[in-house]
Structures are given as structure tokens and as C-alpha cells.
Amino acid sequence: MAQQVRGVIAPGRNEPVRVETVTVPDPGPGEAVVRVQACGVCHTDLHYKQGGINDDFPFLLGHEAAGVVESVGDGTTEVEPGDFVILNWRAVCGQCRACSRGRPWYCFDTHNASRQMTLADSGAPLSPALGIGAFAEKTLVAAGQCTKVDPEASPAVAGLLGCGVMAGIGAAINTGAVGRGDTVAVIGCGGVGDAAVAGARLAGASRIIAVDIEDRKLAMAESMGATHTVNSRTSDPVEAIRELTGGFGADVVIEAVGRPETYEQAFYARDLAGTVVLVGVPTPEMRLELPLLDVFARGGSLKSSWYGDCLPSRDFPMLIDLHQQGRLDLSKFVTERIALDDVEEAFTRMEAGDVLRSVVVF
Ligand code: APR
Ligand code: ZN
Ligand code: ZN
């Protein structure tokens, strides 16, 4: 039986979001209906609302979520009713070249649920943000988008691993492969950069240098484990990072802003044999100009990080376990718990840079 639930809809470009009644169909084969327990408010939701991702309005927003599987369609093997799961953007095929070479984040054949959620009054089909749509009491996803984790974990904390926090931690531990004793610099300390700081700490980095243009962001990065901070409005971050690393530059530099000047800083702030990890997403018109001789002479590597290059089935349960043991404090990323009706206001606070994450708790 299809069900009706409340959900946050972005009706059109730049229009305020509103809570409407949404029809959630029964799950088809390989699909699951999840009773959402918590869902974080992410910049990407705001980009959907602004029309910055695509024009497939109306959107059902929300994608950093955890909840309990309520029902599954025929022949579904991945999860069963009662499982506590974190949702991710898409189910991977497990068989294409990328999947079989252990890089499912580049899978060529991902999928989401094929049945559609609709607006109850008009029957209009909804586009779920990032294939999830979890600012709703229940949502329909492909079963492969669900990863089971320890049911004792707080849903508000668990959901964050579905997006930004995983992207940052994964940039450090997976893409950057930060090792014990490495020096690490993180440029841009919003939610993603702070998660990279936490990841570097987890990996045993000796020095973690946080760079931002705002002192309050630097203070937050310190609470996540940064050992040194640099305000790049008042001092040259490349010089400062070199000074703090014996003149060499950092073994791993993580860029979490997405601008040409910070890409360039990351390039020059690394040790000659170091690694630059690019997590910040630039816009299509941005360009970076570098002397080719520098590109040649400064060895090392330049890597971009997709979703923290994570394997959900490996990384979600591991990070939840570390959190439960008190070895990785993910609760610091939850600035406030809000209700479904408060998402529009949460966007305003996010744009003002006042919160790491507002999390809708059901
Ligand atoms: N130098 C250093 N820090 C900067 C600069 C700069 N020139 N410009 C902005 N910042 C800082 C901001 O002060 C803020 O603390 O970068 C941080 C960006 O944080 P958020 O806006 O909160 O963004 P976040 O969610 O962390 O995402 C960062 O990663 O995944 C990508 O799409 C995401 O491109 C975005 C980036
Ligand atoms: Zn694949
Ligand atoms: Zn997100």
C-alpha cells in the first residue's frame, strides 16, 4: 500500500522550500522503503533549491540520512525490515570495470529506485535529491543505497556519513592515505575540511595545519584536532605551511574550498614528493595556470577525491564503530537538531556560515 508522509519540497528555482504531503509507493524488486530518523542539511540541498544542479523541479530534498528499513521489494537481499542503515547517493553495479577494480565511486552503471515518489495533491513526480530525498518521514531507495551499521549509534550522527563528513574523512584516510607521522595541511575548514582534519587525526598525522580566512572556523578546526592554524587573510599560507613543516611543505595537503587560488596554494604547500587532495568543487569557468616546469619538477601527486573515495560497506560501519568507542567524535559535526518545518531557516544559517550541520531529527 502506498503511504502518505510529510516531506520538504523545493517547488521551483529559488523559491522557498515547503512541507507537503508526499506519496511513497511500495518498494519494487531490489528497493526499500526507509523510515528516516535523521537527515542533515547540506550545501547540495541548497544548490538543488537554487536550480544549480538541474531543472528537474519539484525536488524532494535531503540526502545525509540514516533510518530503519521498513519494507523491501521482492527478491531484495541487501537489507531486511528492521535494519538500521545509512543511505548513500546510488547503488553501484558491482560488475563494471570501475567496480571490479575496486573503485566503485567511479561506477559506470549506478542506479536509484525506479518507482517514483509523487506529490499527493497533484500526483506530480518528485526528483529526490541525490537519489535519496530524505527530508521526509519515509523515502524509497534502491536497496543497494543502504548500508547497515551498529543500531546503537545516534541517527543524527550516522546520517552525516552519507555525504560531507565521509567526503572529508575519506579525503584524508582514503584518497590522501595519510599515514602515522605525516604532516597534513587542510585548506578551508567548513564541514568538509573539518572532517578532513578529524580524518588526519584518526590516521595519526603528526602535524595538522588548518588554513581558513575566518578565525572562528580555525577555532572549530582546532577542536577537531588541528595542531596549528593559519589565517590566510593575514599571512601567506604557503609560507606558513612550509615554516611549520621544517621548510619542506606538508606530506598531504587537502583543498576543501574549490577556488583557483586555494588550488594553487595546495599545489605549492606540499612537500616535493607530497600529495595534493582536491575535495573542493570548482565551477565550470574556473581555470588554474601553473608553470609547467613546476608541474614537472614538483613530483608527488595530485588527486581528486570523490565521496571520500569510500567503500560504504567498509567505511560506514568502521567509522561508526570508532565513534561508538569514543575514538572519533562525530557528534561535534551536529550543531543543532531541528524539525522538518525548519529547513528553510537552516539554509539561512548555513549561508551565514553559522553552523557545521543542522540535522532534521524525526
Ligand atoms: N582560503 C581559505 N579558506 C577559505 C577561502 C580561502 N580563500 N575561501 C573560503 N574559505 C573557507 C570558508 O571560510 C569556509 O570555512 O572555506 C570553508 C568552506 O566551507 P563551507 O562553505 O562550509 O563548505 P563545505 O561544506 O565544507 O564544502 C567545501 O568541498 O565537497 C566540497 O562542494 C564542496 O566545494 C565544497 C567544499
Ligand atoms: Zn559498477
Ligand atoms: Zn551533501
Q: Indicate whether 263 belongs to any domain.
A: yes
One domain for residues 109 and 153: yes
Residue with CA closest to ligand 1 atom 19: 190
The beta strands (E) that lie in the chain are given as 3-10, 18-24, 31-40, 59-60, 64-72, 84-87, 118-119, 127-128, 138-142, 146-148, 183-187, 207-212, 228-231, 250-255, 270-278, 301-304, 336-338, 358-361
Q: Are 175 and 140 part of one and the same domain?
A: no
> What is the reported pTM?
0.95
Question: Could you read off the pLDDT of 143-198 as tens digits, one per residue?
Answer: 999 999 999 999 999 999 999 999 999 999 999 999 999 999 999 999 999 999 99
Cα 49 to averaged position of ligand 1 atoms, centre (Å)? 19
What is the C-alpha radius of gyration for the chain, rounded to an integer number of angstroms? 21
Q: Let me know if residue 126 belongs to a domain.
A: yes
* Residue 318: predicted pLDDT: 98
pLDDT band at 103 (very low <50, low <70, confident <90, very high): confident
Task: Look at residue 314 and tell me if it is in a domain.
Answer: no
Three-state SS for 315? helix
Whether 243 maps to a domain, the answer reads: yes
Same domain? 66 vs 213: no
Residue 114 belongs to domain with CATH number: 3.90.180.10
Residue 198 sits in a domain whose CATH number is 3.40.50.720
Whether the predicted pLDDT of 299 surpasses 90: no
The pLDDT of residue 111: 95
Do 85 and 219 belong to one domain? no
Helix (H, G, I), strand (E, B) or coil at 11: coil
Q: State whether 35 and 138 are in the same domain.
A: yes
The domain in which residue 348 lies consists of 3-162+329-361
Nearest atom in ligand 1 to 217's CA: 15
ipTM score of complex: 0.98
Same domain assignment for residues 283 and 180:
yes
Q: Do 149 and 208 belong together in one domain?
A: no
340 located within any domain:
yes
- Domain membership of residue 320 (yes or no) is no
Same domain, 75 and 118: yes
Distance CA 18, CA 313 (A): 34
Same domain, 88 and 223: no
Looking at the CA of residue 193, tell me the nearest atom of ligand 1.
26
Instruction: Indicate the number of domains in the chain.
Output: 2
CA of 110 to the centre of ligand 2 (A): 6
For 72, other C-beta atoms within 10 Å of its C-beta total 24
Instruction: With H, G, I as helix, E, B as strand and everything else as coil, classify residue 189.
Output: coil
User: Are the CB atoms for 328 and 198 separated by under 8 Å?
Assistant: yes
Closest CA to 40 of 345, 352, 334, 344: 334
Would you state the pLDDT for residue 354? 86
Domain annotation covers residue 51:
yes
When pLDDT is averaged across residues 61-77 and rounded to a whole number, the result is 97
Give me the residues paired with residue 139 across strands.
34
Same domain, 141 and 53: yes
DSSP code of residue 233: T
* Ligand whose nearest atom lies closest to the CA of 354: 1
Residue 310 within any structural domain of the chain = no
**261 Cα: distance to centroid of ligand 1 (angstroms):** 12
DSSP symbols for 116-143: --EETTT-PBPEEGGGT--SBSEEEEEG
Question: Rounded mean pLDDT of 217-240?
Answer: 97
